[in-house]
Amino acid sequence: MFAMALFFQTFPFRNTLPTSWPIRILGAAVCAFTLFSMLSPWIVSSATRTATGRTLTYGPLYDAFAVYVLCCGGYSVLTIIRKTRAARGAERQQLTYLFVALLIPGAFAISTNLVVPLITGSSALSQYGPLFSVVMIAMIAHAIIRHRLMDVQLVIRQGVVYVCAIATAAVMFFVLVEIFHQAMRSESKSIPLLEALAFAVIVAIVFQPLKGWINTSFNRYLYRHTYDYQQTLREASRTLSTTLTLEPLVNYLAAIIEQTFQVEFVAVYVLDQPGRTLSCHWFHASPGYKANTPPPSLAEDSAILRYLSDEKKPLVREEAARRSTDHSIVTAAVELASLGGDIAVPLLRDQSLAGLIAIGAKRSGDPFFRHDLDLLSTLTGQAAVAMQNAQLYQQVVLANEYVENILRTMDSGVVTVDAAGKVALCNFTAARLTGISRDRLSTLDVDNLPLPLGSQLRETLADGHPRSQVETALPNEGDRRTPLVCSTSALRDERGAIIGALIVFSDLSKIKALEREKRRAERLASFGSLVSGIAHEIKNPLVAIKTFAELLPERFSDIDFRDDFSKVVRTEIDRIDGLVGRLRGLATPTPDAVAATDIRDPISETLALLRGQFEQTQTMVHRELGASQALVAIDPAQVKQLFLNLLLNAVEAMTPGGQLSVAIVRLQRQGQSWIQVAVTDSGSGIPDAIRSRIFEPFFTTKPRGSGLGLAICRSIADAHKGTITAEKAPGGSGTTILVEFPAASTTSLIEEKSALFR
């Protein structure tokens, strides 16, 4: 019973003896009762055989012994109940069956052999107690088979070892006894107790090393080299799944195969590129191996490769001898033999051959059994997946390095955000332009990015529409601002869902400086023609004034002449003054009050201002201004002057009764919204040869025109970041002037005029 208590304390996983106080008390009690039972009649005083069976006469300590047995049984029951409640899964099933198997027979055996004699003083039923052990053995056997209560193979192997060790120890004991009898020349068949105890102690001392030697010899003879299948798989899976580089992975796979199976050599061939030969990535041979070294690569027409690609299972050289009619396996086996190998195991990736492992013979001379092939197939299957992951990881690393190199060398800033607006990637140029360190920039989201960048990324994340070549400005040191051009695009997965956004922005400071230099050069280039035009325009009034001035001394007394002179001088001076005033308007205007304005308002006001002239010339005006707002960032007064010039030119280009059309169109170009105003007349049109020159200063086809009206219109459009062009009217008759301005939202205000109009 004490042994059962110890067993329940240590089962199923504990390997050390328990030291709790109940075990100590029960251990001391069992030692005491053992001594009393062997050396005194205090527990069982006598035993007699009668016609009904054996009859026992109990001593004065039998009651105490019965209490001890019940305590051991009760403690065992409580221990197994506690462990069963705490256990889970297969362990709980094992404990449950063990509890039932010991409780039922134990209860009956204790009743017949202990409780009944204790109560009645008779042991007549004790002969039936051992019969209940049959039930216990049957239930434990069921638990061993059905619920893996123990490793049957291990039990059988260790049982054989213990039987052999016990038999050897028994022979040793009897040999010692016989030697003792011969030495003492005793004819008695008995041996004194003291000598028997001495011989038993000697046998007990020798038993453990004897068992170890028998176990080693037994395993060496029957099993040769053994390995733990499950432990090998667990360790290999853990290592293979955590190795992300190809060379260490291949080295580990070959090493574990060599260590597990104790083979002469292991060679691992891996296909580096699809469609190319397999190269040997790892080769290791045992110290005594003297055969030829496997080749550094295998050609594509190799018989081994063809067999492994077709069959997708290991090639065993011994099996080829039994399949001599199969030409492919025989040829592959001959080639494998030339390599010195016994087995070739394929490394499969997506059901295609990605490599192979050539394995030499076992150093023990044993063949490869079925469980060896199963372990090799499992290891290579896991290794193939791990190798694919390693190659994919290497490709990802190379791709990341490639992208990082590209971003590092780019002269434009790049920032990407994920679907939640968190910055996922940025380069050093982005950090330099924004003035934020790259480490800090990588921790921001769209709400914390500089407003010109964050707002565009937020809008692209929301609608998925790209935005191209949008000009903006970033605040810099002091009052300076860095002009930028930005382009955004949405990042999508294979299903088209938005997973992030990208913005690429470049510094326009140098380009703006070049544009200013270009405009300066253009002004200097046109200065000559401008001066020539001014001289021509001023020369005519000056010639008239000079002529009258030269005649004035001679005809000073002529009152009519003096009146005509004063009229001519006044008229020509007014003409010069008007010319100078229009020249001032030709200079690039700076908007005074630029804001998000509905462009329909200045157009409507200009049309109302010219209503009288339209009625006088019987001009039909068609308006297509739309029902919704057309907001642009403009100075309403200057834009009103622009359309006033355009509408007057259109009226002058038509005969009475002509048709004038003003239409507003909303455009989407390169991710940016534009507002286009088309002014179309039904006049004779502008010849193709001069259409490109009509916006130049002092160029005109009118007899009394100054050539400054359309030049002023172009200057106003340029000042508002707009464009103005002339085209043929639809239908080929007349002219259409197209004026375009960037669209503005209801909340957009141009706060920094210097950043936009420098």
Secondary structure of residue 166 in the 3-state scheme: helix
- φ, ψ (nearest 5 deg) of residue 705: -85, 155
Cβ–Cβ under 8 Å, residues 699 and 632: no
| Strand ordering across the sheet containing 735-742 | 620-624, 659-669, 672-681, 735-742, 723-728
> Do residues 483 and 541 both lie within one domain?
no
Q: Could you give the C-alpha distances from 274 to 203, 278, 354, 430, in angstroms and in order?
A: 68, 10, 8, 39
Q: What is the CATH number of the domain that holds 674?
A: 3.30.565.10
Considering 222, 248, 267, which residue would you say is the last residue of a domain? 222
CA–CA separation, 138 and 134 (whole Å):
6
| pLDDT of 490 | 92
Partners of 355 in the β-ladder: 270, 347
The amino acid at 726: A
> Do residues 643 and 718 both lie within one domain?
yes
CA–CA separation, 456 and 470 (whole Å):
9
> Do residues 575 and 601 both lie within one domain?
no
> Do residues 544 and 613 both lie within one domain?
no
Residue found by looking up tokens 């060379």 in the block: 247
User: CA angle 107-112-118, nearest 5°?
Assistant: 105
Q: Range of 207's domain?
A: 159-222
- Does residue 303 fall inside a structural domain? yes
Q: DSSP letter string over 503-571?
A: EEEEE-HHHHHHHHHHHHHHHHHHHHHHHHHHHHHHHHHHHHHHHHHHHTTTSTT-HHHHHHHHHHHHH
Helices within 11-151 (DSSP H only): 21-39, 62-86, 89-110, 116-120, 132-147
> Do residues 246 and 363 both lie within one domain?
yes
Rounded to 10°, the helix 193-222/152-184 angle is 140
> Do residues 323 and 467 both lie within one domain?
no
User: CA angle 277-282-286, nearest 5°?
Assistant: 130
CB burial class (10 A; 0-12, 13-18, 19+) of residue 242?
Answer: exposed
Residue found by looking up tokens 């023990």 in the block: 364
Considering 507, 527, 559, which residue would you say is the last residue of a domain? 507
- Does residue 401 fall inside a structural domain? no
> Do residues 343 and 468 both lie within one domain?
no
Q: What is the CATH number of the domain that holds 467?
A: 3.30.450.20
Q: DSSP letter string over 615-678?
A: HHTT-EEEEE--SS--EEEE-HHHHHHHHHHHHHHHHHHS-TT-EEEEEEEEEEETTEEEEEEE
CA–CA separation, 388 and 395 (whole Å):
10
Q: Could you give the C-alpha distances from 370 to 41, 213, 362, 367, 375, in angstroms and in order?
A: 61, 29, 14, 10, 9
Percent helix, strand, coil in the chain, to 5, is 55, 20, 25
> Do residues 454 and 531 both lie within one domain?
no
Cβ–Cβ under 8 Å, residues 696 and 523: no
| pLDDT of 142 | 65
| pLDDT of 15 | 56
- Does residue 132 fall inside a structural domain? yes
What residue ranges of the chain have pLDDT lower than 50? Answer: 747-758
Considering 198, 222, 246, which residue would you say is the last residue of a domain? 222
Per the structure, how many domains does the chain have? 6
Strands 423-426 and 659-669: unpaired
| pLDDT of 591 | 60
The amino acid at 82: R
- Does residue 469 fall inside a structural domain? yes
Tell me which residue of 526, 532, 648 sits closest to 587, measured CA to CA: 526
| pLDDT of 754 | 38
> Do residues 216 and 255 both lie within one domain?
no
Residues whose CB falls within 8 Å of the CB of residue 239, separated by 6 or more in sequence, listed in order? 252
> Do residues 582 and 635 both lie within one domain?
no
Please give the helix or strand (H or E) that residue 343 lies within, else none: strand 343-349
- Does residue 400 fall inside a structural domain? no
